[in-house]
């Protein structure tokens, strides 16, 4: 059970690379960068388990059972997932089915889009001057609706920084809930789509303008939405942009210390 990271093949772990070279069968999900598969053992059978051409994705149960069947036939099976398999990736469910079937497995974590993807946009998920906690949440549940189990009041009041996966579809409702619960309309928000890939896009906005800006910019899934003042750090830390000659906008975007101070 392997995490392939958010896209950039260089973000694979050495364990993941070894697994790609050794696997007999590789079953990969949507959002796995195909370039990663170039490292597979040339004799490996490679199968796609996500949505394709508008057709519905195979049922979760069917994928899990297929992994069991292949493993029982003596194959070394690599289940490749985007990001980290245990972060909104159903890796826990699939791994559980394997263990229940008596199959030995190995878990290889990956870099999750909500951390590594934001880093590529120059956004640290924590910064001492902003937050001592982060909330990761999913913008929709297994039915596609907004997750009813999320206590938006509590998130709004208690989460210094909120990192949202799968949130684009329900952004209007999510913004409304956060604002109704008292979150500052001017709070900075960043939307990072196709993070770490060559077509990565970053939108900088605020809680009250996010909806309109997302619509106007046409930025779409897959995207991470980050709510919180850490997103301001991009004004200083947009390292990818800086490589392309984009000037640093602010050396101290949080206005907390003189630039020469290091403590
Ligand atoms: N296991 C994955 C998350 C799977 S859920 C992980 O740890 O990253 C799918 C959601 O992840 C997408 O809807 C999007 O919100 C986010 N995501 C995955 N890859 C992404 C990428 N390259 N850029 C932006 N968001 C991404």
Which pLDDT tens digit goes with each residue over 10-67? 999 999 999 999 999 999 999 999 999 999 999 999 999 976 655 667 788 889 999 9
CA distance 170 to 145: 8
Domain that holds residue 188: 113-243
Structure tokens at 81: 């997932």
169 is catalytic: no
Q: What is the pLDDT of residue 58?
A: 77
Chain centre to alpha carbon of residue 192: 10
Active-site residue (options: 29, 81, 171, 238) = 29
121 and 237 share one domain: yes
55 is catalytic: no
The DSSP secondary structure of 133-190, one letter per residue, reads --EEEESS-TTSSPPTT--HHHHHHH-SSEEEES-STTHHHHHHHHHHTT--TT-EEE
228 and 137 share one domain: yes
CA distance 45 to 23: 9
Exposure of 29 by Cβ count < 10 A (0-12 exposed, 13-18 middle, 19+ buried)? buried
Q: What is the pLDDT of residue 54?
A: 58
33 lines ligand 1 (CB under 6 A): no
Asked if residue 120 lies in contact with residue 10, where contact means CB atoms within 8 angstroms, the answer is no
Measured at the alpha carbon of residue 150, what is the angle toward residues 146 and 153, in degrees to the nearest 5?
Answer: 115
- How far are the Cα atoms of 36, 124, 141 from residue 12, in angstroms, in the given order? 8, 20, 27
- Domain CATH number, residue 146: 3.30.950.10
Q: Distance from the CA of 194 to the center of ligand 1, in angstroms? A: 8
Q: What is the pLDDT of residue 51?
A: 67
83 and 180 share one domain: no
Which residue, 70, 100, 130, sits at the end of a domain?
Answer: 100
95 and 117 share one domain: no
132 and 37 share one domain: no
52 and 76 share one domain: yes
Asked whether residue 261 is domain-assigned, the answer is no
pTM: 0.95
Q: Which parts of the chain have pLDDT scores under 50?
A: none
93 and 137 share one domain: no
119 and 238 share one domain: yes
Q: What is the pLDDT of residue 260?
A: 63
Q: What is the pLDDT of residue 56?
A: 66
Q: What is the pLDDT of residue 53?
A: 57
Number of domains in the chain: 2
Q: Which atom of ligand 1 is nearest to the CA of 164?
A: 15
Helix (H) / strand (E) element for 205: namely strand 201-206
CA distance 117 to 209: 22
Q: What is the pLDDT of residue 18?
A: 98
Asked whether residue 167 is domain-assigned, the answer is yes
Exposure of 17 by Cβ count < 10 A (0-12 exposed, 13-18 middle, 19+ buried)? middle
CA distance 53 to 16: 28
253 lines ligand 1 (CB under 6 A): no
């Amino acid at each position: 059970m392997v995490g392939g990271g958010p896209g950039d093949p260089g973000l694979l772990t050495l364990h993941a690379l070894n697994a790609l070279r050794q696997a007999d069968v590789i079953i990969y999900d949507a959002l796995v960068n195909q370039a990663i598969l170039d490292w597979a053992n040339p004799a490996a059978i490679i199968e796609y388990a996500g949505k394709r051409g508008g057709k519905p994705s195979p049922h979760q149960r069917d994928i899990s059972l297929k992994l069991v069947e292949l493993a029982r036939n003596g194959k070394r099976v690599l289940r490749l997932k985007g990001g980290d398999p245990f972060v909104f990736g159903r890796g826990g469910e699939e791994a559980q089915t394997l263990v229940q079937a008596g199959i030995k497995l190995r878990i290889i974590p990956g870099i999750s889009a909500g951390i590594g993807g934001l880093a590529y946009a120059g956004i640290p998920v924590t910064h001492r001057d902003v937050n001592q906690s982060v909330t990761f949440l999913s913008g929709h549940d297994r039915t596609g609706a907004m997750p009813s189990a999320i206590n938006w009041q509590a998130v709004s009041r208690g989460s210094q920084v909120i990192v949202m996966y799968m949130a684009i579809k329900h952004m209007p409702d999510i913004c409304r809930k956060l604002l109704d619960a008292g979150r500052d309309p001017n709070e900075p928000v960043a939307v990072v789509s196709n993070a770490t890939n060559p077509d990565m896009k970053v939108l900088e906005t605020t809680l009250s303008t996010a909806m309109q800006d997302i619509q106007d910019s046409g930025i779409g899934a897959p995207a991470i939405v980050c709510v919180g003042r850490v997103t301001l750090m991009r004004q200083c830390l947009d390292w990818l942009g800086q490589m392309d000659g984009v000037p640093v906008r602010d050396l101290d975007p949080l206005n907390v210390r003189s630039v020469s101070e290091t403590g």
